[in-house]
């Protein structure tokens, strides 16, 4: 567990700039042999650029300065030519990227890609023969605990799951037993239970082989569970560094303190007083959605895939329900059915549009806040038009007044109305999306992963806006998410889904303390926590 004393990587005065504008400024740190160092920062902090600069992988127009020495390499990594660096990449330092699908070549078998890493990066004299490399690749995949490694080696990347793909990428990066492994958000695209497996794997390999790890992430808790030491980056600089325990327990820099308190969702948001006689706003009965699979062959039988089976849900005024599940659990299907964007194969959705409960049609009494605040706002429209879109008289002065009122409500300045979505940060864009959802005075607000695309420091703010606006209007709030922390922070009731079925439901605190279903327990265990 104790990292070696001699330095493996020494970085001094590292800068990255584009056309004279500095993006990374004067970054210096060391990584000891076998040591795991985390770099924490939000989007734009320069953490990824730092890692890319070390391996000479910066994009066009970006220039690195300073010095970076890797033990066993006679030249400075930052001044080296591409040819020189190619002797380092993959052999002395391996890299794992965020998105395993794009890191792998889609038309090449997985095993062949791992074997290629062995053959290309290995020392010329001991370059293994093609067959030997293939065999070693299978062995490597097995060591990274891919089930049935021989079969995985023959599979193409799209035939593997996200977690399996990331294992294959890891196998390629570790093929030549590098002294340093650089991981850039390796689990951000993965489910939380898979994340835990990958992180355990990285830690295990590092302990077993003495591989040093430079682990880049926005997730404090995750870095705390992997690393010995942590560097906090903000605005292109390292603002704080030290052993994980020390930085997390006694953060010195105000930015670190702010980041820590924003990441901590364990103290629930203030709850609104429940309405005296909560009326039912939305009722779903026996919701089932099946999709037809393409026929296998011309006369093959028609088969179906069941995305959601027999779900019941009732939302009352003032309710805050969290639907939790991993990818493929049917939670997005549920949201599309509830909002009327898709029709159920069987079952009914009724909502309180006007006086009584009626069949759900898109937009009647129910609005959605989508996951990606860039994709859910039309890039060609001004904020004013985006927020006014659900209003019946969107060109009238009354509509303009309502837009101004809504923008103020979600904490945006009035002049935001005249600007375009790309001029805002992720958190601000999500506020715009919330303002639009509130415009037609819905009684139910559905939110699909509303904060998973956002930086830690704005997550709590956006959740607080959601909480406040729904409470003020006696609305029901239903959040669909993979993030248990978000549910605990905001919701009273939780529904845990897996493969299209509800496996457990109940009050949040009860489920948190005493989960009944083994899957719920597994989910809870997989969440990295800041102790």
Angle 13-78-178 (CA atoms, 0-180°, nearest 5)?
A: 110
DSSP bridge partners of 63: 17
The SS3 call for residue 400 is helix
Backbone dihedral angles phi then psi of residue 230, each to the nearest 5 degrees: -135, 140
Enter the DSSP assignment of 5. S
Nearest distance from residue 248's CB to another protein, in Å? 34
> For binding to another protein (CB under 8 A), which residues are involved?
61, 339-341, 362-364, 366-368, 370-372, 375-381, 389-390, 433, 436, 439-440
Which is nearer to another protein, 378 or 516 (by Cβ)?
378
The number of beta carbons lying within 10 Å of the beta carbon of residue 77 is 24
Q: How far apart are CA 121 and CA 77, in angstroms?
A: 17
Q: Which is nearer to another protein, 323 or 433 (CB)?
A: 433
Please identify, using beta-carbon distances, which residue of 85 and 366 lies nearer to another protein.
366
Tell me which residue of 379, 382, 366, 372 sits closest to 438, measured CA to CA: 366
Cβ-based nearer residue to another protein, 109 or 289: 289
Nearer to another protein, 177 or 372 (CB): 372
- In contact, 319 and 477? CB cutoff 8 Å: yes
Closer residue to another protein in complex, CB, 61/301: 61
What does the block give as tokens for 297?
């062959």
Strand (E) or helix (H) holding 110: helix 110-121
Shortest Å, Cβ 390 to another protein: 4
CA distance 479 to 125: 58
Q: Which two tokens stand for residue 234?
A: 């903000």
Name the minimum Å distance from CB 149 to another protein: 35
Strands 304-316 vs 476-481: parallel, antiparallel or unpaired: unpaired
Q: Minimum distance from CB of 342 to another protein (Å)?
A: 10
Min dist CB 427 to another protein, Å, is: 17
Is 128 or 363 the residue whose CB approaches another protein more closely? 363
CB of 377 to another protein, least distance (A): 6
Question: How far apart are CB 260 and another protein at their closest, in Å?
Answer: 30
Shortest distance, position 455 Cβ to another protein, whole Å: 17
Pair 390, 441: CB distance under 8 Å? no
Which residue, 170 or 433, is less far from another protein as judged by CB?
Answer: 433
Query: Residue 321 Cβ, how far from another protein at the closest point, in Å?
Result: 19
Q: Which is nearer to another protein, 144 or 284 (CB)?
A: 284
Query: Degrees (nearest 5) of the Cα angle 285, 477, 431?
Result: 140
Alpha-carbon distance of 26 to 427, in angstroms, equals: 29
Closest among 447, 466, 41 to 238, alpha carbons compared = 41
In this structure, the strands spanning 36-40 and 229-234 are parallel
Q: CB 61 → another protein: shortest distance, Å?
A: 8
Q: For 191-257, where are the E strands, in sequence order?
A: 212-217, 229-234, 237-243
Q: For the chain, what's the residue count?
A: 531
DSSP string, 447-496: EESTTTTS-HHHHHHHHHHHHHHHHHTT-EEEEEES-HHHHHHH-SEEEE
């Amino acid at each position: 567990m104790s990292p070696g004393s001699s330095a493996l990587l020494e970085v001094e005065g590292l800068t990255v700039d584009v056309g004279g504008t500095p993006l990374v400024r004067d970054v210096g740190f060391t990584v000891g042999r076998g040591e795991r160092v985390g770099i924490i920062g939000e989007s734009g902090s320069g953490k990824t650029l730092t890692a890319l600069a070390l391996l000479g992988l910066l994009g066009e127009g970006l220039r690195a300065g300073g010095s970076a020495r890797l033990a066993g390499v006679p030249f400075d990594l930052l001044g080296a030519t591409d040819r020189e660096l190619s002797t380092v990449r993959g052999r002395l330092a391996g890299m794992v990227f965020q998105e395993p699908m794009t890191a792998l070549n889609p038309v090449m078998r997985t095993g062949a890609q791992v074997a290629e890493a062995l053959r290309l990066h290995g020392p010329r004299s001991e370059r293994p023969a093609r067959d030997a490399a293939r065999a070693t690749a299978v062995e490597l995949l097995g060591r990274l605990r891919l089930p049935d490694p021989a079969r995985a080696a023959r599979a193409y990347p799209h035939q593997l799951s996200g977690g399996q793909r990331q294992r294959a990428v890891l196998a390629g990066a570790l093929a030549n037993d590098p002294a340093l492994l650089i991981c850039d958000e390796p689990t951000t695209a993965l489910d939380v239970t898979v994340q835990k497996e990958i992180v355990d794997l990285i830690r295990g390999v590092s302990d077993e082989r003495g591989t040093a790890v430079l682990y880049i992430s926005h997730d404090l808790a995750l870095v705390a569970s992997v690393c010995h030491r942590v560097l906090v980056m903000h605005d292109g600089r390292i603002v704080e560094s030290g052993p994980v325990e020390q930085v997390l327990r006694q953060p010195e820099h105000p930015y670190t303190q702010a980041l820590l308190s924003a990441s901590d969702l364990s103290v629930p948001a203030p709850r609104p007083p429940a309405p005296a006689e909560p009326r039912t706003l939305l009722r779903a009965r026996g919701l089932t959605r099946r999709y037809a699979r393409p026929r296998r062959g011309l006369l093959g039988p028609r088969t179906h895939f069941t995305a959601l089976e027999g779900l019941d849900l009732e939302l009352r005024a003032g309710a805050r329900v969290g639907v939790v599940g991993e990818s493929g659990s049917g939670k997005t299907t549920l949201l599309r059915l509830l909002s009327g964007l898709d029709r159920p194969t069987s079952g009914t959705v009724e909502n309180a549009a006007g006086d009584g409960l009626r069949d759900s049609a898109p937009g009647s009494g129910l609005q959605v806040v989508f996951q990606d605040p860039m994709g859910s706002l039309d890039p060609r429209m001004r904020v004013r038009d985006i927020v006014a879109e659900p209003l019946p008289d969107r060109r009238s002065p009354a509509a303009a007044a309502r837009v101004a009122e809504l923008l103020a409500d979600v904490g945006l300045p009035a002049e935001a109305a005249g600007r375009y979505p790309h001029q805002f940060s992720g958190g601000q864009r999500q506020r715009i999306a919330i303002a639009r959802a509130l415009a037609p005075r819905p009684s139910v607000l559905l939110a699909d992963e509303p904060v998973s695309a956002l930086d830690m420091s704005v997550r709590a703010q956006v959740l607080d806006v959601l909480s406040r606006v729904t409470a003020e209007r006696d609305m029901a709030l239903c959040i669909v998410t993979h993030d248990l922390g978000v549910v605990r922070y905001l919701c009273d009731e939780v529904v845990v889904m897996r493969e299209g079925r509800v496996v457990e439901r109940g009050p949040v605190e009860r489920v948190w303390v005493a989960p009944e279903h083994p899957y719920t327990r597994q989910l809870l265990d997989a969440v990295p926590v800041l102790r």
